[in-house]
Amino acid sequence: MKMNSNSLAEVYFVLCNLNKDEYNKIPTHIIDTIKTNRNMDYRFIINNDVSIIEQPFLEETKAILFALFKKYLATPEQKEKICVIERKEKMSQYLKKL
């Protein structure tokens, strides 16, 4: 998948604002790839009045952040909840096709 450099700029901004322990859970090569391919001229302004979930991120940014969270940051319990939700969504999509 070709990634939007503006999305990578937003992702990099979020990663740089993680605490050290969370940041270190993400493999260096992934962070380096994001850093290298981001649009360095793109400026994203974070709204400190709303939570991270409510930020006006690009859709691709949300997808990348979710994938990183699921793979590297989520606890085992959170990963299981995500899997349950994804299975329900797949079943729902399958049933809609019938």
Tens of pLDDT along 17-75? Answer: 999 999 999 999 999 999 999 999 998 888 889 988 899 999 999 999 999 999 999 99
Residue 46, burial from CB neighbour count under 10 angstroms (0-12, 13-18, 19+): middle
Indicate if the alpha-carbon torsion angle 13, 15, 18, 19 is positive or negative.
Answer: negative
Residue 3 has pLDDT above 70, yes or no: no
Find out whether 23 and 15 touch, Cβ atoms under 8 Å. yes
- Please state the domain extents for the chain: 5-97
Q: Are 34 and 15 in contact (CB under 8 A)?
A: yes
Q: At what angle do helices 59-68 and 5-16 cross, to 10 degrees?
A: 50
pTM of the model: 0.83
pLDDT single digits (tens) 61-98? 999 999 999 999 999 999 999 999 999 898 888 888 87
For residues 4 and 25, give the distance between their C-alpha atoms in angstroms, rounded to a whole number. 23
Residue 66 to residue 43: CA distance in whole angstroms: 21
